[in-house]
Amino acid sequence: MNHYQAAIIGFGKAGKTLAAALGRAGWRVAIIEKSRAMYGGTCINVGCIPTKALVHDVQHHASFSDAMQRKAAVVELLREKNYLNLAAIGKVDVIDGEAEFVDAHTLKITSSQQVSQIHAERIFINSGAEAVFPALEGLVAGPRVVDSSGILNLTQLPQRLGILGGGYIGVEFASMFAGFGSEVTLFESAPQFLAREDDDISAAIARILQEQGVKLELNTALQRVTSGRDSVTLHTAQGDREVDVLLVATGRRPATKALKLENAGVVTDARGAVRVDKQLKTSVDHIWALGDVTGGPQFTYISLDDFRIVYDQLLGKGTRTTEDRVNIPYSVFMTPVLSRIGLTEAQARAQGRDIQVVTLPVAAIPRARVVDDTRGMLKAVVDNGSQQILGVALLAADSHEVINIVKTVMDAGLPYSVLRDQIFTHPTMSESLNDLFALVK
């Protein structure tokens, strides 16, 4: 049995970064990944990189076939690069196979070639998350019923695409495939669209999607699904709907079922998320969990920060914790992009805050005219007492870049006037922050 100072389950952002850092520090490290097709993790292979490559190409009017070929080439390049980055470190072993706990220090690894075991002084769980299919009759994965990973492997553009789930993943794919030319229908069981956003923001998103040709069917209860050779039929309380491909985008859950965590005494919650403390340590002192498997925000940049927290314990000062990160931004890569940080207006009012709310139409921004996309709006919530920014929503081209400027100001505790009076280059989307915050009285 091989012995390691550290065993890492999963090749995602946190795991691969930790493996490299520990290997370079002289530790003997094993990183275990059940599929060679997932070297580099979810983001590179079936998440943010391939989807954003497709978003880029649809915005540049590429054909679906050309876009899928370029996506595959980008993914293959980055996957190979990630593998070589670790393989080049003499102290790191990349092991193919599915890991499960035998006990708190021993992992059994099963591959198509063999079954083996390794012993590790410390173990790091970075197994990510997996798509969830609601328990409905006929709703099973197949050639015409796919999750967010399966849809990235389509070889032909579906003429009619149905999307089950009106959350952020569903919205992103709806905008993308409508841009490629599919007739997209988005089915949402809730009566309200994007309830996590303020009403004016969700209404603006709905208008943009509808202008792209996306049909929104809210308050639609799916009862069962029938898959045929050439189509899928959704049986709902409102009647039957037929599509060529159905994307199930109803959420993701931590991928822990196959790990047999009970053999190591690692505690999970009802959803299977590994319970961790503020330094990402599990119920077992020498086992940590990082990334999506903890049930927190499923973002690559959160996984990277998880690495920083754990690395600081192992080889740093040991002071960094999850409590250090505030004002976590996110972007939904529809076209144009939605980016948000902090509190919504509704959340701020529910907290009884004394606030000002200002909005600016994207059509008022010179750069929006230059890039010929005037859709959307900017919105800011400002605390009247402290003059600090409580939250911002940007539904605009390049908002995924601009939101990071807002985060820097919020994290520093600076007043909104810093952005109102900042000198930005022209013509840029960043300078719209001058105009947005000039509206605060």
75-86 pLDDT tens trace: 999 999 999 999
- State yes or no: pLDDT of 70 exceeds 90: yes
Q: How far is CA 188 from CA 182, 273, 403, in A?
A: 19, 25, 28
Q: What is the DSSP letter of 191?
A: S
* Pairwise CA distance, residues 113 & 17, whole Å: 27
Residue with tokens 């980016």: 339
Tell me the pLDDT band of 50, cut-offs 50, 70 and 90.
very high
pLDDT at 34: 94
Tell me the pLDDT of the chain averaged across its residues.
Answer: 97
* Pairwise CA distance, residues 313 & 276, whole Å: 14
* Pairwise CA distance, residues 348 & 341, whole Å: 13
pLDDT at 386: 98
* Pairwise CA distance, residues 337 & 335, whole Å: 5
Please say if 286 is a catalytic residue: no
Q: Quickly count: other Cβ atoms within 10 Å of residue 410's Cβ.
A: 21
Q: Under DSSP, is residue 158 helix (H, G, I), strand (E, B) or coil? A: coil
* Pairwise CA distance, residues 205 & 408, whole Å: 26
Comparing CA positions, the residue from 34, 26, 27, 46 lying closest to residue 9 is 34
Length of the chain: 441
Q: Which pTM value belongs to this model?
A: 0.94
**pLDDT > 70: percent of the chain:** 100
pLDDT at 357: 98
- State yes or no: pLDDT of 211 exceeds 90: yes
* Cα within 13 Å of Cα(336), Cβ side: 25
Q: How far is CA 393 from CA 207, 309, 341, in A?
A: 16, 28, 7
The token pair at 28 is 């003997």
pLDDT at 414: 98
The token pair at 410 is 């919020």
Tell me the pLDDT band of 1, cut-offs 50, 70 and 90.
confident
- Taking only the tens place, the pLDDT of each residue in 191-210 is 999 999 999 999 999 999 99
**pLDDT > 90: percent of the chain:** 99
* Pairwise CA distance, residues 53 & 67, whole Å: 8
* Pairwise CA distance, residues 249 & 65, whole Å: 23
Name the packing angle between helices 48-59 and 64-87 (round to 10°): 150
- Taking only the tens place, the pLDDT of each residue in 370-388 is 999 999 999 999 999 999 9
- Taking only the tens place, the pLDDT of each residue in 270-301 is 999 999 999 999 999 999 999 999 999 999 99
Instruction: Name 379's bridge partners.
Output: 359, 393
* Pairwise CA distance, residues 252 & 94, whole Å: 26
Tell me the pLDDT band of 228, cut-offs 50, 70 and 90.
very high
Cis peptide before 336 (omega within 30 of 0): yes
If you compute the radius of gyration of the chain from its CA atoms, what whole number of angstroms results? 23
- Taking only the tens place, the pLDDT of each residue in 409-421 is 999 999 999 999 9
- Taking only the tens place, the pLDDT of each residue in 302-356 is 999 999 999 999 999 999 999 999 999 999 999 999 999 999 999 999 999 999 9
* Pairwise CA distance, residues 105 & 109, whole Å: 13
